């Protein structure tokens, strides 16, 4: 654990006696579908974090990193914060564009993670009807594709008896559109230099919303210089047009990544209030 991560945990969780993560789980012990090699970058993993006082709810946590890396500041610190509120957390480290993987590989990893979490709910002592997903930045885009188009990530021929659909979704300053003010690195890493129009639209999440999606908590800052706030506006408008229950929180101040620096930012309390109303925290 690096110094920055330690500072984050100290600021976010002043009263928490730190818990160790469980041993990471390989999503595909016999090799991931379409793997380009056998090095760590080709092996997606799921790391469980178990709370001291479980509520029975769980969260799949997806860090960002522009689809070119995994930003660890959005992994363990927030897993431990969610543990503090009773949630069992599973951090996904998915395959990346920087390692040569393009859409829908990342979605395959997220879908498989959901299959494994819900399929082993009894083992983890969690309610299979209270499993959410939370993502930051490019991880927020992956969350949006997981709720919009999980079918794109389902591997044909698998024996599936549970649904990969999360019961709620949390998008933190997400990348959303590959058309309107796209985040250049995320777009390139996910769909390549010269994607066809169909793929661009398929991965522009504001165009893929449909009725029946799970409830969504969405937040962004107006001063975000990396991923413009228009991304949140576009997704919220699509959710509203399709009758999907959601909350949109726009905060005036703060650049990309606000909430990762240990400040008492209101989004923490806003999210806990929303989760409590849905029976995920007490």
How does pLDDT run along the chain (282 residues), one tens digit per residue? 333 334 444 444 444 434 568 999 999 999 999 999 999 999 999 999 999 999 999 999 999 999 999 999 899 999 999 999 999 999 999 999 999 999 999 999 999 999 999 999 999 999 999 999 999 999 999 999 999 999 999 987 666 789 999 999 999 999 999 999 999 999 999 999 999 999 999 999 999 999 999 999 999 999 999 999 999 999 999 999 999 999 999 999 888 876 554 557 889 999 999 999 999 999
Rg (CA), the chain: 17
CB count, 10 Å around CB of 66?
24
Give the separation between CA 158 and CA 110, rounded to whole angstroms: 15
Domains of the chain: 3-277 (3.40.50.1820)
Beta bridge partners of 168: 132
Give the separation between CA 200 and CA 155, rounded to whole angstroms: 22
The separation between CA 127 and the C-alpha centre of its own chain, rounded to angstroms, equals 19
Give the separation between CA 191 and CA 248, rounded to whole angstroms: 27
The separation between CA 181 and the C-alpha centre of its own chain, rounded to angstroms, equals 21
As given in the structure block, the two tokens for residue 25 are 């789980």
């Amino acid at each position: 654990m690096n110094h920055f991560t330690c500072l984050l945990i100290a600021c976010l969780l002043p009263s928490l006696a730190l818990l160790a993560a469980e041993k990471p789980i390989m999503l595909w012990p016999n090799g991931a579908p379409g793997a380009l090699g056998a090095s760590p970058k080709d092996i997606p993993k799921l790391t469980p974090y178990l709370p001291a006082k479980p509520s029975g709810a769980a969260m799949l946590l997806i860090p960002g990193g522009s689809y070119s890396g995994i930003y660890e500041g959005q992994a363990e610190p927030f897993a431990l914060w969610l543990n503090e509120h009773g949630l069992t957390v599973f951090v996904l480290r998915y395959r990346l564009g920087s390692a040569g993987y393009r859409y829908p590989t990342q979605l395959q990893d997220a879908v498989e993670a959901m299959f494994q979490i819900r399929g082993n709910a009894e083992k983890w002592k969690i309610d299979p009807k209270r499993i959410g997903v939370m993502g930051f930045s490019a991880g927020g885009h992956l969350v949006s594709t997981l709720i919009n188009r999980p079918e794109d990530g389902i591997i044909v021929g698998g024996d599936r008896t549970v649904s990969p659909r999360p019961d709620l979704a949390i998008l933190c300053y997400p990348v959303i559109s590959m058309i309107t003010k796209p985040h250049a690195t995320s777009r390139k890493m996910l769909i390549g230099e010269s994607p066809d129009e169909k793929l661009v639209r398929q991965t522009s999440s504001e165009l893929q919303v449909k009725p029946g999606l799970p409830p969504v908590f969405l937040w962004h800052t107006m001063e975000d210089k990396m991923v413009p706030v228009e991304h949140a506006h576009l997704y919220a408008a699509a959710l509203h047009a399709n009758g999907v229950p959601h909350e949109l929180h726009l905060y005036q101040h703060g650049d990309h990544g606000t909430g990762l620096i240990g400040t008492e930012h209101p989004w923490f309390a806003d999210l806990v209030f929303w989760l409590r109303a849905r029976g995920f925290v007490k």
